[in-house]
Every structure is written in C-alpha cells, then in structure tokens.
Chains A and B, each alone.
Chain A
C-alpha cells in the first residue's frame, strides 16, 4: 500500500535522485580540483603570508596552511602564530 502511494506521489521521492547526483558531483569535483600541486600550495602560502605581514608580525616558520576535508565541505585552515601587531599609520582621507 505504502509503495503504491509512494508511486502515485513518487515525484518527490524520485526528485531526490537527481539532487543526490548533483550534490555528489559537486563534492567530488571540489575534492578533485583541490588536488593542488605542492608548488601552487607553496605559492598560496607565500601570498597569504605576504598579505598578513602587512599588518602583523608572524612566525613564518611555524605557519601552517592546509586543506581540511569535512564530510560535506572543504576548508582552508591556517595556523599562523602572531608575534605582534604592526603599527600601521592611519591614512588620512585626502578627499
């Protein structure tokens, strides 16, 4: 009985299969594309450090940047020990 009902109202149930495929595709591509070469990873790390050192004095040797894979997501996780703030001259609004 339940089966007949779900067949009659089957549209929503089966709607899921495409959506499941789409979500799986999204994740699988995200994982695949993050197979970044060590050189690019190094360049990314250097760029991040370059930006941050405009504002902070950090311990570059102890800085770690890596991708962390969750079940449904992906994160770029950085551990950057801060030694001190830089004194940044406030820019005057020159109009």
Chain B
C-alpha cells in the first residue's frame, strides 16, 4: 500500500507543479513506483512540465466518470520504469469531479504504487478540496514573500481543519544573495511563522526555466542547484536524514581572496 502526498500552496505561481514533477521524477529514479496526478482540472500543466503532453489519451475526469479504465488513462513516462502521469482534463472545470471520486481514485492508485503525488490547483475552493480529499500527507510550497507565506498559513489551517495533520513545508525560490543582503525573508523567518516541519529549501535557479522549456525535470540535470534540492527533498520523503543545502554557493569577494591566498574558508 502506497502513500498519497498532495502538493499545495494556496497562492499560484509558487512552484507546485515544478515541485510535483521533480519529486515524482526523483522518487521514480530511485526505483519507486510513482503516479503524478494533475488535479488542476481546466488548467493542466503537469503534462507539459513532464514533457508528456503529446501522449495523453484519457484524463482524470474520464476515469472519474467511468469513460475509461484507470490503467488506460495513465501516461507512462518512458524515461523511467514505474513513473506515470494521470493528466487533468483541459476542457472541463473543477466541479467535474467530487472529493468523494478523488478519494476513491487515490485509494485505487495507492494499491499498485509506492507514491501518488497530487498536484493541487491554486486557491481554496473545490479544486483544493478535491486535491486533498485522498491525501495522507501534504507538502505546502511557499516562496519567501509576504503574500505567499500568508496563503500558506491559510492553507495549513484548512489542512488541519480537514484532519490532514502530516504537513511539511518546501520554501521555494530562495535567492541566497538577496537573503544575505537583507532583502529577502530567510528560512527562519518563514518557519517561525508557519510552525511546521521544514522538508526542503529550493534556491532560485534559471535551469528550472530551461528544464520546463524542454519538459525535462531539473532533478535530471546534475548541474541544477534546484535539482539537487529536489533530490534531497525526495530522500527526506523516503525518511533519510539529509542535511539542508548550504546556499552560499557564490563566495563573496573576501572569501574568494582568502581562498586564493590559501586560507581555509569554512
């Protein structure tokens, strides 16, 4: 019996879909059977981020309404053994599926897979209620901005109210240079307010845009800092104790000089 994780945020554009694609790909890379479910009915994106948009035949709504069997709607990712996508419908809206149908669907998917990752739509209406209906765990994605942290706080409240208590946080798009300059909220500022377990910190990374352009999740790129962060997050989901990444990747002038002169810099 597998586990259902919902990736949610409240606010749009903070990286839910990117997070879902990367964690899912990485878990599959590590040999697990994974299904990615795009719960954003009417605005499907996960297929594009995964590079599977040309292979969709049926979608989640077709499955929920019995127009096809679940197995027929799953798009197999040819890059990995055991990675599948259940795409959202593009022409329906969020009311096309009920929380009850989503719960059944998740139950069904759990039977034959290790991890079911549900990419939740932005907002707190029915799309959100659908996405969390069958979840065992929730990953809340936020960026270090007031609006995004505020929405994350609201989402955490709603998750707790619906008895989903295993909630952890991914702080996305941290810019270490701006944090250092005091121009961006840092990790401590965010967790201090949200008071939930930190699952990972993902630095802003241009390679994410390139990987999205190509439809190849950044975890596949060994040069991507964000990809590395997502690999760490995936290991933590599996229960490994992985230290948080040191984001000070670009040493300042002084430490560069010190290094040139042969001093050791921590």
Interface residues of A (CB under 8 A from B): 11, 14-19, 21-22, 24-26, 28-29, 32-33
The chain A residue with its CB closest to the CB of B182 is A15
- Contacts beyond the supplied A14-B183, A29-B149, A33-B157: 20 A-B pairs with Cβ under 8 Å: A11-B181, A14-B182, A15-B181, A17-B182, A17-B183, A18-B179, A18-B184, A18-B185, A19-B182, A21-B145, A21-B189, A25-B149, A25-B150, A25-B185, A25-B193, A26-B193, A29-B150, A29-B153, A29-B193, A32-B154
Q: Is the interface of B mostly helix, strand, loop or mixed?
A: helix
Residues of B within 8 A of A (CB): 145-146, 149-150, 153-154, 157, 179, 181-186, 189, 193
Verify B146–A11 contact, CB threshold 8 A.
no
Q: Report the separation of the CA atoms of residues A24 and B145 in the bound assembly, to the nearest whole angstrom.
A: 10
- B150 adjacent to A32 (CB under 8 Å): yes
A26 to B189, CA, bound (A): 10
* A11–B178 alpha-carbon span in the complex (Å): 11
Best-buried of A15, A16, A18, A24 by chain B (most CB within 10 Å): A18
Chain A residues, Cβ within 8 Å of B157:
33
Could you tell me the distance between the alpha carbons of A9 and B211 in the complex, rounded to whole angstroms? 38
Is the CB–CB distance between A18 and B154 below 8 Å? Answer: no
Distance between Cα atoms of A60 and B157 in the complex (Å): 32
Top 3 A-B residue pairs of the complex, sorted by shortest distance between their CB atoms: A15-B182, A18-B182, A25-B146
Q: Is the interface of A mostly helix, strand, loop or mixed?
A: helix
- Measured in the bound complex, the distance between the Cα atoms of B184 and A15 in whole Å is 9
User: Is the pair A18, B183 in contact by a Cβ cutoff of 8 Å?
Assistant: yes
B183 touching A25, Cβ below 8 Å = no
Q: State the CA gap A33–B149 with chains docked (Å).
A: 13
**Interchain nearest-CB distance for B257 vs A (Å):** 19
Minimum distance in angstroms from A17 CB to a CB of chain B: 5
CA distance A32 to B151 in the complex (A): 10
A26–chain B nearest beta-carbon distance, Å: 7
> For A14, what are the chain B residues with a Cβ–Cβ distance below 8 Å?
181-183
Across-interface contacts of A28 in B (CB, < 8 A): 146, 150
Q: B149: nearest residue on chain A (CB-CB)?
A: A25
B189 to chain A, nearest CB (A): 5
B182 contacts A24, C-beta separation under 8 Å: no
Contacts of A22 in B (CB 8 A): 185, 189
**A28 CA to B183 CA in the complex, in Å?**
19
B153 touches A32 (CB 8 A): yes
With a cutoff of 8 Å between Cβ atoms, the chain B residues found around residue A11 in the complex are: 181-182
Q: Cα distance A17–B181 when bound, in Å?
A: 10
8 A-B residue pairs with CB within 8 Å: A11-B181, A14-B181, A16-B182, A18-B185, A24-B146, A25-B149, A29-B149, A33-B153
Chain A residues whose CB sits within 8 angstroms of the CB of B185 once the complex forms: 18, 21-22, 25
Give CA–CA (A28, B154) in the complex, Å. 11
A74 to B: closest C-beta gap in Å: 15
A28: nearest chain-B partner, CB-CB: B150
How far in angstroms is the closest Cβ of chain A from B164?
18
Specify which chain B residues have a CB less than 8 angstroms from the CB of A19 in the assembled complex: 182
CA distance A10 to B251 in the complex (A): 20
Contacts of A16 on B, CB cut-off 8 Å?
182
Residue in B closest to A26 when the chains form the complex, CB atoms: B193
Q: Which residue of B lies closest to A30 (CB)?
A: B193
Chain A residues near B193 (CB, 8 Å)? 25-26, 29
